[in-house]
Structure 1
Amino acid sequence: MNEGDLRSAHMVASVLLGYPDGRLYDGLGVLAGAVDGLPAGEVRERLSAFLGHVAATAPAELAARYVATFDLKRRCCPYLTYYAYGDTRKRGAALLRFKHALSTAGFEPADGELPDHLAVVCELSARGAVGPARRLMLEHRPGLEVLRAALEEERSPYADVVTAVLATLRPSSAREKQAALRLAAEGPPAEAVGLEPYAMTEAGR
C-alpha cells in the first residue's frame, strides 16, 4: 500500500471504530467509495465486510452492540496503552507519547477522547501523520493482537476492522507474537493510580 492508500484505509477505520453516530451514517457513501478505491487484499475485504454489516444492521442495534463490546468488556478495550500498562502510573507517561504525537500534527481528538483510542490513532494517520501513527501502533502491537483475538472470540464484526488495521502494518515478529500470547494469558498490570490528568473513561475500564 502506498501512503495515500494507508491514509484512506485508516480514515475509514477511524470512523468505523468510533461510536456509530451521524458521522458514520452520513458518510457511508464516502466510506464505501474509499474502500472500493483500495487495492485488492485483506484490508479492503475486511473493511468492506464491516460496511456490509452496517448496511444490514439497524442503527440502534449497532449502537447497542458497540457499547456492549467496547464499554462493558475490559478484554475488548480500544485504548492501546491499557494492554501494556493497565491502570498503573506508567500509563500516564505512555499517554503523553500519544498526546505529543497528536499535538505535533495539530490534531485534537473530539469530545475529549483519550489520545490512545485506536480510532484516534487511525485518524492521526489519516490526517497525514502516517509515520508517527504507525509507530505508535507497532509499539502497542501485542495489545492490538489481543484486542483482535478478544473480538474474534466474541464473534464481533468489529474484529474485521481491527484485523484490517493490523494488515496495514508489517507482519508480526516472533517477539511480538510471544508478547501477545503472554499478555493474553496474564492480562495487563493492575494498580489504580497515576492516570491524572488522563482519567479513564468508562469505556477504558
Structure 2
Amino acid sequence: MPTDAVLYQAAALCLTHPDDDFVARLPLLREAAPQLREFTDHATATPLPELAAHYVRVFDAEDRRSLRLSRWYEGDARRRGRPLTRCADAFKAHGLECSGEKPPDFLPAVLEFTSRTGETELLTEHRDALEQLRRRLTEFGTPYATVLDAVCAAVPG
C-alpha cells in the first residue's frame, strides 16, 4: 500500500468518533503514519471519555468545523444534493458503498475511499474545504488540526 494510502486510512480512523477499537489501534496508527504522531501521542495520553467529549465539542457542536465536505460549499441542505451524489457515484464506480449512518461526503469516508482506490479526485475537489477546516481546527486549538495538516500536505495540487 503506498505511503499516502496508509496516511489517508490512518487519518480516517483518527477523524472518527473515538471508541475502544480506536484506542486499541493507536500503537499501530502511530507506527504506520508518523505524520500523525502528534495526534496519536495526544490520543494515547488522553482518557477515552475525555477524548470522546473533545471530539463532540470539536466536530459535532457546530457546522464551523464540519467533517461533511459539502457543507463548506453548500450550507443549505437543499443544495447539497449534487455534491452528495457526486461522492456516492464515485464510491459506486469502485464497487464501494457508504454506510447508511454517515453521508458519502463525510471526510473519514472520503479518506478511506481514497486509501482503498488511490483516487484522489474527491480530495482535490474539496481542497478548499480541507484548508478551511484545517484553519478552523488550528484556531480552535485542537490536536485534530495536526491530522488535517498531514492530510492537506498529502493531497495533490
TM-score interval, normalised by the smaller of the two chains? over 0.9
Match of 1:135 in 2: 121
User: In structure 2, the residue corresponding to 1:114 is in which secondary structure?
Assistant: coil
Tell me if structure 1 keeps the 8 A contact 2:17–2:52. Answer: yes
Gaps of 5+ in 2: none
How far apart, CA to CA, are the structure 1 residues paired with 2:93 and 2:27?
Answer: 31
Does 2:83 align with 1:94? yes
| Greater helix share, structure number | 2
Larger Rg: 1
**Displacement over 4 Å in runs of 4+:** none
Q: Partner amino acid for 2:148?
A: V
User: In structure 1, the residue corresponding to 2:72 is in which secondary structure?
Assistant: helix
Match of 1:150 in 2: 136
Displacement of 1:111 in angstroms is 5.3
Tell me if structure 1 keeps the 8 A contact 2:30–2:41. Answer: no
Q: What TM-score do you get using the length of structure 1 for normalisation?
A: 0.72
Match of 2:66 in 1: 77
How far apart, CA to CA, are the structure 2 residues paired with 1:148 and 1:81?
Answer: 15
Tell me if structure 2 keeps the 8 A contact 1:84–1:140. Answer: no
Q: Partner amino acid for 1:26?
A: A
Match of 1:182 in 2: none
- The equivalences for 1:1-205 within 5 A come to 4-36=2-34, 44=35, 47-110=36-99, 112-127=101-116, 129-131=117-119, 134-171=120-157
Gaps of 5+ in 1: 37-43, 172-205
Q: What TM-score do you get using the length of structure 2 for normalisation?
A: 0.93
How far apart, CA to CA, are the structure 2 residues paired with 1:104 and 1:73?
Answer: 32
Displacement of 1:18 in angstroms is 0.4
Paired residues, what number?
Answer: 157
Cα deviation per residue 1:80-130 (whole Å; 9 max; x = unaligned)? 111111114331011001001112222233452111111011100121x12
Worse-superposed segment, 142-151 or 104-113: 104-113
Displacement of 1:144 in angstroms is 1.1
